[in-house]
Structure 1
Amino acid sequence: MSDNDPSVAPDSERAALRADCANCFGLCCVALTLTASADFAISKDAGEPCPNLQEDFRCGIHTALRPKGFSGCTVYDCFGAGQKVSQETYGGQDWRSAPDTAQQMFQVFPVVRQLQELLWYLTEALSLPAAGPLHAEIGRALEATERHTRRPAAELAGLDVAAHRDGVADLLRRVSTRVRATAPRRKKRGHRGADLMGARLKGADLRGADLRGAYLIAADLSGADLRLADVIGADFRDADLSGADLTDSLFLTQTQLNAARGNAATGLPGRLTRPTHWS
């Protein structure tokens, strides 16, 4: 982390946790399974290249994914796993020129993707002043997770990533409890894992709420105050975030925003960007 203030994550560290498709071998377009639905116009098995993937590993319909029926592709985020596996784990050797590596590479990619997502959350946790008493433990967890991402391919393929994730999840829960306790006028709001599909929460005061893993599909959260709300793993597909305040929501990701609806009045953390399809 930063040599100065540990509560501030340098842009370079955030950049490593963002997808760099130009340095990836189109891994998300090959390694993942697609199922024909409102998110994907086709079905394909894991390990089968998407027909839109070009020889240079770029998407042939990148600028028209939504109108072509591939909105799911615009939501997905590998947290930088694509370029790490392509350029570090496999040293720039792609699966087309070295087909014997393909099966293992496609197995390693989702493992590293999970680890990179944990790095995103831990980097954010280390930036939270209220989590100060836990910063040393967070730093150790971050370093251990980073070491895992740099293991040889064979070790990554057999890594028990679920066990590591469970340990990090416990730490992030403790971080969340500390930070949410600082929310003004905080009430007991236990919505963890709740089914809030289509819920009418327009203008709701959800400051400090525990929304971990909540199902907020198509919920009306327009104008809602989600500051200091823990939204890790919350499903925001088609949720209306117009005018909502998420400026310091905990563990919010670009994937969640990309899956939701919003507008220019939606307040966002500086580390995330406003989706281009928002009004």
Structure 2
Amino acid sequence: MSDETPRLEADCSRCFGLCCVALPFARSADFPVDKPGGEPCRNLLVDHRCGIHDRLPEGGWRGCVTFDCFGAGQQVSQVTFRGVSWREAPGAAPTMYAVLPVMRQLHEMLAHLRDALGLGPDTTIVEALEAARAEVDTATAGTPDEVLAVDLVDLRGRVGGLLRTVSATARHERRRRDGIPRPPRRIRAGADLVGADLRGRDLRAADLRGALLIAADLRGADLRWADLLGADLRDADLRGTRLDDALFLTRPQLAAAHT
């Protein structure tokens, strides 16, 4: 799996600043201005670098700090469009902008499949994970039209099912091995825990997939082996929180929290 790791990490030096052009954003706590999709950010330089990259939070550009393309930017720039930028081929720009968010979802799936394989599931599940990874990987190498034709709903559903199975098995085994008690009923997948006081709670091996943990106080909580796939951690207080081996926790989630 180590051969995939660099490809699933953003390399802005090999990207055409696509996230700074293709994606829209609205004036909010995350951005100081409005910007429609397809319009270059006012901070984007002619060499595709960000002019204020070293001071984004101070300028109110928090959304940029929490965004991660999982390497989709350089894939679209260097592979899908073979090194020809939106500036060099303006006629292809709209297609390039449409491909980016699809590619990002594909790369995020690859990252989660890699992590699932690292949990050491049984042979049958390994074969299913490898098959899914091969399918997603093939999709990332397609032409622009082929990438746009990917049925993301179907693919994400099937990949999500595999990840759910791996997570449930790994967490059950961890609870059995370490005698971890089951969490309270409100600590569950998709739970609304906005602003919840969870300080110091034992949340080991909990299923918090898709949970709303916005502004939750998790100081000193133990989230080892908890499934955090898709959990919303915006403004959650994670100071002193144990996150060792938390399942499917991503860089954007951590960037959005207070650590």
Deviation (angstroms), 1:162: 1.7
1-side partners of 2:124 and 2:201: how far apart?
31
Deviation (angstroms), 1:133: 4.2
Q: Deviations over 1:180-228 (max 9, x none)?
A: 1022333444511111011111111111100000010111111111111
Given the alignment, which residue of 186, 189, 201 partners 2:180? 186
Deviation (angstroms), 1:132: 5.0
Q: Deviations over 1:213-250 (max 9, x none)?
A: 00101111111111110000001111111111111000
Matched to 2:205, the amino acid is G
Q: Which residue of 2 aligns with 1:212?
A: 209
Deviation (angstroms), 1:130: 4.3
Length, aligned pairs only:
253
Q: Which residue of 1 aligns with 2:153?
A: 162
Deviation (angstroms), 1:107: 0.3
1-side partners of 2:200 and 2:74: how far apart?
40
Whether the 8 Å CA contact 1:131–1:175 is kept in 2: the answer is: no
Unaligned ranges ≥5, structure 1: 1-8, 263-279
Is 2:239 the partner of 1:242?
yes
Given the alignment, which residue of 79, 82, 93 partners 2:84? 93
Is 2:165 the partner of 1:171?
no
Please provide the CA RMSD for this pair: 1.1
Deviation (angstroms), 1:131: 5.0
Whether the 8 Å CA contact 1:180–1:208 is kept in 2: the answer is: yes
1-side partners of 2:241 and 2:93: how far apart?
43
Structure 1 residues 53-72: aligned runs within 5 Å: 53-72=44-63
Given the alignment, which residue of 38, 49, 64 partners 2:29? 38
Matched to 1:186, the amino acid is I
Q: Which residue of 1 aligns with 2:200?
A: 203
Given the alignment, which residue of 146, 149, 154 partners 2:137? 146
Unaligned ranges ≥5, structure 2: none
TM-score of the superposition, structure 1-length normalised?
0.88
Given the alignment, which residue of 225, 229, 232 partners 2:222? 225
Q: Does the C-alpha gap of structure 1 residues 70 and 211 become closer, same or farther in structure 2, counting only changes over 3 Å?
A: same
Given the alignment, which residue of 38, 62, 79 partners 1:47? 38
1-side partners of 2:120 and 2:61: how far apart?
39
Matched to 1:24, the amino acid is C
Structure 1 residues 249-264: aligned runs within 5 Å: 249-262=246-259
SS at match of 1:201: coil
Q: Does the C-alpha gap of structure 1 residues 181 and 132 become closer, same or farther in structure 2, counting only changes over 3 Å?
A: farther
Matched to 1:163, the amino acid is D
2-side partners of 1:211 and 1:138: how far apart?
22
2-side partners of 1:152 and 1:205: how far apart?
47
Q: Which residue of 1 aligns with 2:111?
A: 120
Calculate percent identity across the aligned residue pairs: 50
Whether the 8 Å CA contact 1:131–1:178 is kept in 2: the answer is: no
1-side partners of 2:244 and 2:124: how far apart?
23
Matched to 2:204, the amino acid is R
Deviation (angstroms), 1:13: 1.8
Is 2:76 the partner of 1:79?
no
Whether the 8 Å CA contact 1:194–1:213 is kept in 2: the answer is: yes
Greater percentage in helix: 2
2-side partners of 1:236 and 1:133: how far apart?
33
SS at match of 2:219: coil
1-side partners of 2:133 and 2:214: how far apart?
31
2-side partners of 1:30 and 1:54: how far apart?
11
